[in-house]
Chain A
Amino acid sequence: MLLAGCSGELSALDPAGPRAASLATLWWIMLGGAALLFALVMVLFGIAYLRPGWLSRITPMQWIVGGGLVLPIPILVLLTGAALVLGEQLLPKGDAPLRIEGQARQWAWSFGYPGGAGPYDGTLHMPAGEPVDIAVTSADVIHSFWVPRLGGKIDAIPGHVNVIRLEADEPGIYWGQCAEYCGQGHDGMQFRVEAHAPEDFAALMAGAAQ
C-alpha cells in the first residue's frame, strides 16, 4: 500500500535499476533509524513533563555525554562510512561499455553516441542490463540531469563535463528531467529514456550510423 503510493514514473522510491535500488535501500534504512531517534527524543521530552520523577536521577554529565556524544557519534560514523563506501561503488570508474554525451540547453536535452550515431533530440537511448556512462555538459546556463528510477543526478555546467553512471534492469521507457532551476522553461525540460535489449540497441546504433 505504502509502496504503491510511492510508485511513479519519476519516483526515486520505485527503482528500475541496481544503482537507484541501492539509493532507495539507503533511504529506507535511514528512514527507520530517523524514526527511532525521533521517537526517543519525543518520548524523553514527554516523560520530562508527564513523569518528571523518572528522569530526575540522570546527572547533567549523563545527559550531555550520553545524549550528545555516545548516542550520535557511533551512528554518524557508521552511516557516513557506509555512505562513503556506497558512493565509491556508484562512481563511474573502470571501463563502462558505453559513454553517451548529453548536452543541455535552454530548454531541451540532446544526446550523442559513440561513432557519431545521433544525436536524437530529447530521447536518450541506452542498452538495458549494463552500466552506461552519461557525460553531461551545458551550452548555456546550469541544468541538472536526473533520471530518478535509474540513478541520482549530476549537474550540467557550462565549461565542465560531469559523468554519471546509470543502469536499467529491463528494457522500457523511463523519464528524466532537469533538476536545476534554469529559467522560464524549467518546468518543461523532461526527456525520455528508452532502454533497449542489447541486440536491439546495437541494431539501432548500426541503423543510425548509416
Chain B
Amino acid sequence: MSSVNHTVLGKRFMVVALTFFAIGGFLSMLIRAQLATPNSAFIGPEIYNQIFTMHGTVMMFLFAIPMFEGFVIYMLPKMLGARDMAFPRLTAYGFWCYLFGGSILIIALLVGAAPDSGWFMYTPLSSRPYTPGINADVWLLGLTFVEISAVTAAIEIFISILKMRAPGMSLARMPLIGWYMLVTSGMMIVGFPPLILGAILLELERAFDLPFFDPTRGGDPLLWQHLFWLFGHPEVYIIFLPAAGALSTIIPVFAQRTILGYRSIIAAIVAMGFLSFGLWVHHMFTVGIPHLALAFFSAASALVAVPTAIQIFAWIGTLASGRPRWDIPMLYVAGFFCVFVIGGLTGVMLAMVPFNTQAHDSYFVVAHLHYVLVGGFVFPMLAGIYHWMPHISGRQSLYRLSVPAFWLIFIGFNLTFFLMHLTGLMGMPRRISTYPSNWGWDWLNLLSSIGGFILTMGFCLVLADLVLQWRFGRRYRRDPWKAQTLEWATATPPAPYNFAALPRVDRRADMLEPAKIGPVLAGARAISASCAMASRKRWASTCSPASRST
C-alpha cells in the first residue's frame, strides 16, 4: 500500500483508470439503451442527465488522463534509463488524490447524487438556484482532487525528463516519446490551473453566494466557459499527444526502421502545444462573440491540422520506407489511421464558423469528438497495451482472441459513431434523454445502439484476451519485438530498480540494441544496487528488491 516505486504506482494508475473506463463504458451502454428507441421509458431525464454527465466526466478525467499518466509513470524512467521518477513520494501522493477524488464521484453516482449539469458544468445551470442539491459540489470537489493529481504528475514528468535521463542521453538523443511527454506535461502545468481556479470560483459562488457567474449581480456566465475551455481544449491535445508518442514508438518497431523526420516531429509537437492554447473559443462559436474575433480562433483551429498532418505523413513515410511487418499492435495502428483521420477532417469542418452554427451541440459533434478521442487515444492505447503488455507480464500475446476483438471494436465503433454525423445534421441535439419518432432519427439511433453493443463485446474480448495472456502466454527472453528503445533492456517483468547499472547512451536512444545491453546492465546488479542504496538514501525504497508491490 505504501509503495512509492514508479513501476508499482504506474500499474496501479493504469488498473484504476481501466476500471473507470469500464464504469464509463457501462454508463454509455445505458445511454445507448435509452436512445435506441423513440419515446423510451427506460430511464427518465433525471437519471439520464446524471449518466451522460458522469460518462463524460469519467472518460475525460478519470480514465484518459490517469491512463496515460500511469503509462508514463511506469514506462518513462525505463525509456530514459533511470531508476525512478524524480519525486517518488509525489507519485504516490498523486495516485491517492486521484483514487480519492474519483471515488467521491462514483459513490455519488451509486447513491443517486451524481453531477447532472453536463461534464462542462455550464453556469448558471450549475449554480445554486438551478442545481440546489449537492450534485454540482460533488463534481467540483471530486474533480479538484483529480486535477491536483494531474498537476503533480505533470510536474513530476516534466522534471524527470529534464533531470533523470541516463548519462549521455541529451535532449536531442531522447526517444520521441520523451519529447511528447515533455510538451504534454508543460501543457498540463499551464492548462489545469484555469480549471482548478474556475472550480474554486464556482464552489465559492455555490457555497458563499459570491456572484462570479450571476448576470443579475454583475457576474457573467461566459466567464466560466472561458475558464473551462481554456483548460478544456488543451486537454484534448493533452490526451492525444501521449498517444501520438506511443505511436511514434510503436510504428518504427513494426516498420523496422527508425522514425522518419525526428526533428520535424519535435517541431510539430511544440507547435501543437503552442497552438492548443489559442483555440479554446471554437467551443464557443455560438455564444455571440463578434465574427472577426471568431475568425482568429477559426484559423488557429484549422492550423492545428498542419502539425497533425506532419506527424501522420511522417508515420506513413516511416512505414513506406521501412520493411513493415504486421502484428496485433499494427492492426490497432491501422484502426487509428482510419478513425483519427476522419475525426481530424470533421474537426476542420467544425472549425469553420458558419458550418459550426449548424453542427454545434448536435450529434455531429458527438461523432467528431468520439472519432478524435477514441481514434486518437483508445486505438493507440490498445496498440500500446498489445505492444507493452509483454513488458509488464513477462509473457507474449496469444492472438486467438486478439484479431476478432479488433474487428468487433472497429466495426462496432464505426457503426455507432459514423451514423451520428448524419443524426446530428438531421437536427438531433446533444443531451436529450428521449425524442419523438417524427424527426426521422429512429433508425439511425437504433443502428448506433447496436453498434455500441458490438463495440462493448469487442472490449470484453480484449479483457479476456489479456487475462489469458497473463495466465497462459509464452514466456520470452529480452525484447520480443526487436524494439530499439531502453525499456526493453530491463528484465521483464522489471525489477523495482529497472537497471542494476545505469546505461551510458552514445547515440540516439531509439537506435539501441536492448537485447545486447540488457544483460550487461543486469550483470552489474550487485555493485550498483548496493552503491545506490549507500550513496542516495532516497533510492532505498525503490532499489530494494524487497520493496512491496500490490
Residue positions of A touching B, CB distance < 8 A: 5-13, 20, 22-23, 26-27, 30, 34, 37-38, 41-42, 44-45, 47-49, 52, 55-56, 58, 60-61, 63-64, 66-69, 71-73, 76, 79-80, 83-84, 86-88, 90-91, 106, 140-142, 144, 146, 148, 151-155, 157-160, 162, 177-187
Contacts and interface: CB of A to CB of B under 8 A. Distances in A.
B130 A141 contact: yes
The 8 tightest CB contacts between A and B, nearest first, are A152-B357, A159-B215, A10-B427, A67-B313, A68-B310, A63-B317, A162-B288, A55-B320
Given A157-B287, A158-B215, A60 B431 contact: no
B430 A181 contact: yes
A79 B302 CA distance: 9
Interface in B266-317: 268, 286-288, 291, 294-295, 298-299, 302-303, 305-307, 309-314, 316-317
B354 A152 contact: yes
- What size tier do the contact residues of chain B reach? 35 or more
B433 interface: yes
Contacts of B334: 45
A42 B337 contact: yes
A58 B321 contact: yes
A185 B432 CA distance: 9
Nearest to B338: A42
B327 interface: no
B124 A158 contact: yes
B407 interface: no
Nearest to B351: A80
A60 B306 contact: no
Contacts of A185: 45
B148 to A, nearest CB: 27
B260 interface: yes
Contact of B439 (A9, A34, A41): A9
A59 B360 CA distance: 41
Contacts of B314: 60, 63-64, 68
A48 B361 CA distance: 38
22 contacts: A9-B439, A34-B346, A38-B341, A41-B337, A45-B316, A61-B261, A67-B310, A67-B313, A68-B307, A76-B305, A80-B298, A87-B295, A146-B427, A148-B427, A153-B358, A154-B357, A160-B288, A178-B429, A179-B429, A181-B430, A184-B46, A186-B429
Contact of B360 (A42, A91, A141, A153): A153
Contacts of A61: 261
Given A153-B286, A179-B362, A8 B317 contact: no
A152 B425 contact: no
B355 A56 contact: no
B226 to A, nearest CB: 13
Contacts of B429: 146, 177-179, 186
Nearest to A158: B215
A56 B321 contact: yes
B425 A186 contact: no
Contacts of B545: none
A6 B426 contact: yes
Interface stretch (B161-169, B186-194, B216-224): B216-224
Given A45-B316, A87-B353, A144 B425 contact: no
Given A34-B345, A83-B353, A66 B313 contact: yes
Contact of A23 (B298, B354, B432, B439): B354
Contacts of B326: 49
Contact of A159 (B216, B286, B306, B322): B216
Nearest to B125: A141
Given A12-B425, A60-B260, A157 B358 contact: no
A12 B125 contact: no
Contact of A184 (B49, B312, B338): B49
Contacts of B354: 22-23, 26, 83, 86-87, 90, 152
A12 B352 contact: no
B440 interface: yes
Interface of B: 45-46, 49, 117-118, 122, 124-125, 129-130, 215-216, 220-222, 260-261, 264, 268, 286-288, 291, 294-295, 298-299, 302-303, 305-307, 309-314, 316-317, 319-324, 326, 334, 337-338, 341-342, 345-346, 348-349, 351-362, 422, 425-435, 438-441
B312 A67 contact: yes
Contacts of A44: 316, 320
**Interface hub of B323, B352, B433 (most chain A Cβ within 10 A):** B352
B221 A159 contact: yes
B309 A68 contact: yes
A155 B320 contact: no
Given A11-B425, A41-B337, A157-B221, 9 more contacts: A6-B426, A9-B440, A27-B355, A55-B321, A63-B260, A68-B307, A68-B309, A68-B310, A87-B294
Given A47-B320, A72-B305, A181-B430, A155 B125 contact: no
A68 B306 contact: yes
B211 to A, nearest CB: 11
B426 A141 contact: no
A49 B357 contact: no
B316 A186 contact: no
Contacts of B316: 41, 44-45, 48, 63, 67
B357 A13 contact: no
B220, B294, B316: most-surrounded residue (chain A CB, <10 A): B316
A69 B305 contact: no
B122 A142 contact: yes
Contact of A67 (B295, B317, B361): B317
A26 B352 contact: yes
B302 A56 contact: no
A58 B317 contact: yes
Contacts of B220: 159
Contacts of B118: 181
Nearest to B304: A76
Contacts of A177: 427, 429
B349 A34 contact: yes
B302 A52 contact: no
B324 A11 contact: no
Of B317, B334, B354, the most chain A CB neighbours within 10 A belong to B354
Contacts of B362: 12, 179
A68 B314 CA distance: 8
A187 B45 contact: yes
